[in-house]
Amino acid sequence: MSATLAEKIIAKAAGVARVRPGEIVTCKVDLAMIHDSGGPRRVKPLLDRLGVKVWDPTRVVVVSDHYVPAVDAESAAILKLTREWVRDQEIESFYDQQGICHVVVPERGHLRPGMFVVGGDSHSPTGGAFGTYMFGVGATDMAGVLITGETWIRVPETIRLEWSGNLGIGVSAKDMMLKLCATLGMDGGDYQAVEYTGDTIAGLSMPERMTLSNMAAELGAQAGLIASDATTADYIRSAGGDPGPDLGMQGDADASCRAVHAFDANALEPQVAAPDSPANAASVGEVEAAPVEQCYIGACTGAKLVDLRMAAAVLKGRKVAATTRLMIAPASTRTTAAAAADGTLAALTEAGAILLPSGCGACAGYGAGVLAEGETCMASTARNFKGRMGARSSKVYLGSPYSVAAAAVHGHIADPRPLLADGEAA
């Protein structure tokens, strides 16, 4: 019988021939990922109380990304606890201050198609870009995973999002996601599995696919899947990983889906989400040209190498407006190194960008770059909830790196396409 991609991966993890939506099954976990904020400091007391260690240290990845670098004694203590716990548990896959977990884990070759992966963060669906079923859980559920190597899941229905056509100059996967949020709403995924399909998706790079899967969380979905292909395999091999035997696993064309929504990439314009929800998105021409005190290119969804290149394409040969500051926090240290090597970083800093450490940073209201009372920011982050990036009275608009860079140049919300009129785009 036909099955969706989500159903095939879950059935494999459950060790059964088939699963059906609504069925509750127990699955073996191929990999567990936690970070410094919701990881050791939350799960350590639970494991200590039971007198147990993690079931398999080789299947656990720990990334310190929220409290890095430490800005006060409390942050330093959390990082110290994380390092000590990793040593005690004999976990070798520990990436300390190397970047944001959702970028570092695939960047270091830990993901491959067909895996069943649990992450301790709401943006864990990023892994779905690799044909992996990856979703986020809280600390209590994660403790159960770390102890047993298993977890239960209610088999989701699949919502298929079909994209056809080609994205125009100055338009990216971030614009696709803001369009989806505006169209379907923050609960449009209804905690089901979202699967992105169509020739538009097939033509996207892996970092752009990661943006789509990452922001499945903003649709309220449990997972955001993209079937693996040659592009997936090339990325995994370049990261030192092995695509494995499930490369190319796809859902059956006639598999039953909860809903199918079709979108035309040819018609998509740059999108901007007004405060205080990604669902408040509209085409840039329909959004007020509000002045911005800060522009921020950062976060797991907006500061990968391709994102920095988008911003550089707008900023090269230009300057950040005198009324605006531009903060850039690359998604990983490898991203920073690559951007330095190819000239991207120089284009950004020469325009007046301020370089920040790799990490979650201001996106989650940590460290440098947080907003003061009443300030307005244009950001490439996934979320713009009230008070998330600082003071409760601050306002955050969302857009692609193209749009954030355009706002930095003009000092207000602006269409990036006129600044890319010569056809130069990332």
pLDDT of amino acid 366: 87
Tell me the pLDDT tens digit for each residue of 342-352: 999 999 999 99
Whether the domain at 5-264 and the domain at 271-420 fall into the same CATH topology: yes
3-state class (DSSP) for residue 94: strand
pLDDT of amino acid 367: 83
Tokens of 280: 């408040």
* Contact (CB, 8 A) for 385 and 277: yes
CA dihedral for 266, 267, 272, 273, sign (positive or negative): negative
Residue spans of alpha helices (H) in 285-332? 305-315
Is the domain 271-420 a CATH 3.30.499.10 member? yes
pLDDT of amino acid 421: 74
Residue 290: how many other CB atoms lie within 10 Å: 15
Tell me the pLDDT tens digit for each residue of 9-44: 999 999 999 999 999 999 999 999 999 999 999 999
Query: From the first residue on, what is the mean pLDDT of each consecutive set of 10 residues in the chain (426 residues)?
Result: 96 98 98 97 96 98 96 96 98 98 98 98 98 97 98 98 98 98 95 98 98 98 98 98 97 96 98 97 97 97 98 97 98 98 98 96 89 97 94 97 98 98 60
3-state class (DSSP) for residue 398: strand
Residue 21: how many other CB atoms lie within 10 Å: 17
Q: What percent of the chain has pLDDT over 70?
A: 99
* Contact (CB, 8 A) for 61 and 160: no
Exposed/middle/buried for residue 81 (C-beta within 10 Å: 0-12, 13-18, 19+)? middle
* Contact (CB, 8 A) for 27 and 132: no
pLDDT of amino acid 110: 98
* Contact (CB, 8 A) for 69 and 361: no
The conformation of residue 190, written as its DSSP 8-state character, comes to: T
Tokens of 44: 């350590």
Give the separation between CA 120 and CA 139, rounded to whole angstroms. 7
Predicted TM-score (pTM) of the model is: 0.97
pLDDT of amino acid 424: 57
Give the separation between CA 34 and CA 190, rounded to whole angstroms. 24
Q: What are the boundaries of each domain within the chain?
A: 5-264, 271-420
Give the separation between CA 304 and CA 282, rounded to whole angstroms. 24
Topology at the third CATH level for domain 5-264: Aconitase; domain 3 (3.30.499)
Exposed/middle/buried for residue 51 (C-beta within 10 Å: 0-12, 13-18, 19+)? exposed
Give the separation between CA 148 and CA 300, rounded to whole angstroms. 29
